[in-house]
Structure 1
Amino acid sequence: MIRSTRVLYKLFVKSYYRAHASQILVFFTLFGVYFFFTPVLKDSLLSFSEKVYHNLLLTISVVSEPLFAGLFAVFFVIFLIRVNKYIKELLPDPQYTFLFYSINSLQKSRQLLCWVLVSLGISLPFLVFIVFSVVVGIVKGYYLIPLVLLCLAGVGVTINSVLLVNRLNSPRHFDSASFLSSYITGWKKPLFAMFPLYAAEKLTGTFFLSKSLSLLLIFAVYFLFREDMNNYQLNAVCGLLAAVSNAYLLFEENRFNTMFLSFYRNLPVPAYRVFLQISFMWMLLLLPEMIAFAALPAYRAPLFSVALLLFFRAILLTVTQDFKRYFYGVLLLFLVLFIAILFKVFGLLVIVCFAISCKSVYSNR
């Protein structure tokens, strides 16, 4: 069994870290620095206990606030789903066929233990965060949420391992559709749900990183200005950050429409209906941000995020299809809109963005 674990470790754990080295380095380095140590300005004015509290503020928030613990749990579950998908995509490859008559010769319980160790190895960065959170939570007197996080980690890794054992013992299903595709095959899907389903199926990494960046920026603003979250300027800044974080998804949406829905322009569909479908689609894609906005609360931010994404769609995607120019355009618009927000023209910006997007839809019909 030890040899089998070593084989699986070399095949999947090392290859996973090699394939995702840049993402892991960027995400976990940026996130980990503040998770283990949050710098404090003018810390000479604070006592030692106050320094420790502020240095571990993000960790303490995870183990004391159900909202932050829930967000951390969602990220961990999405991470396990990506790991499961990565391994399942490798298994049909011819170089892994020997696993069918080597690992499968073990008892199911031993196979499960091997895959649990593999899942633990791949999930090591998240597990380090969870263990550190549990230690900090126990020291600070928080016991329930750390216990729930530990149980979630154990249950998640176990379920992931059970799915992998079943997959390896059922090679006839390798060419079948994915879980999401097989589950929603018989559904009647509205047009505005097409790209969100495509993003969940084919752009999992992009979707995960976009939402992670968006939520991280939103809660960073909340940490800095929690006393003034009802201020409409902060609402507008949160909406702007959410829109810019989803700018790459917007570029992929345009590519998806070009590849798969180019015929739709020739159909006799009223322009107002097209505009509503696009608006509903981005409301669906911004659902995680909307939940975060409702929890802060920042009730004006979702409206501004949808308006800005429709504005980006109307202006940038009709001007250029080159991602480099599109990226520079997003940065330029971000600076212009941020300055406009400082001058308290939030309502006017929303009206202008919706008006330009409506005009773009009507002119393209």
Structure 2
Amino acid sequence: MDPIALYYPYIHVRDDRWLKYAALYWPKLARLRPAGYPTLDSPVSRALRSEANWLVDVTPPAWAAQEVGRPFLELLESHEQSLRDRFALDRIHRRVGYRGSRRSVRRTSLSAGSYGRDLPDWLDYVHVGKMSPEWLGAAMVADLASTYEGRGETWVGMHPELAAVYTCALVERIATENRLHPVTDQELPHTAASGWTLDRLADVLLGTAPTSAARPDAEDGFVFSAFETVVPAGLDTVPVEKIIEVRTKFGAELDAFRRYVTEQSEKLAQLQDVRDVEVFREYLRDEVDRAVTDQLKQLRDRLRSVGLESVRGVVNVKSVAPPALVTIAADTVGLSPAIAGSATMAACVVAAPAQWRRQRRAAIRESPVGYLFQLDRELNPTGLIDRLRRAWPG
């Protein structure tokens, strides 16, 4: 059973293009939405939620807030002054140089996931439903947090670093206990897969090492890099209805691709030990080339072999195969432009037997990257047809 993805750190997904990528791979995407919270979803999010039942809401469980709050309370009890020195609201307020009431600072912009117009923009926010009363009360007494009202909801404002670490720890706990896979469209200083023990919290929140962008999950990076080999750059212009159609149409191929990614997990896990992000990305590119690009080439070569077998003995049918027929061939056959010469492509369409079509379908389904091949055909058909037309002599 493939795990459901769990989106973080926000309630609303901020990047529709990323959301389409996620919908092309994950069985479902869950998000932590407090009960009754009014959403302002984008049209893409609404379609994936209401029409496809792919985006689902999960109420933040009270047990998770209680369990995650305990190590934060322990850290506060033993290192209150150090935490205040770094994260106290009064200190942040003085550093930003604002002279006036905290509650009068206006956010500079409103997006689907913003909290309200009258919240300080120098803080980050966690919904009150995601924090235990004990941890919230202690944090407020220590001046590490304050509550604000926005969009009819109560939010807990904190130093951005403290809010980020708490959110990651909460998401990790919920994901671990529910077999979910944390995913994000944001570049964050930390991830929800960092092992948020008390020692880890102390190291991150009280350590002296500067924070930097966290390395992405190797498996997620592999999947998205694989998609980028076939999915057009203008994915943001592809209608969400097409994304839903592809998921439904090629479910078997998608399942095979997910199994293939799972098989790569052991190798991908080794990359998590690579310290520098640039080196990590180079290793990931090499792995995608080896495990995806080469597999796609093998599939196309196999389809070419099957197609050539079906047209053996045909001499020259260029006179009865105009460019329009090649366009049909691109949609029906899906062969590489490398074999899109006039006689070969025309013969493939004119003479392709039912047996050959069955062999072709079987080859795609048996390939671990058959799903990527189908994505290329479904989401980038114009590019494929143009390449075929350019290959047509005269």
- Fold-level match, TM-score > 0.5? no
Structure with greater proportional helix content: 1
TM-score between the two structures when normalised by the length of structure 2: 0.27
TM-score between the two structures when normalised by the length of structure 1: 0.29
Structure with greater proportional strand content: 2
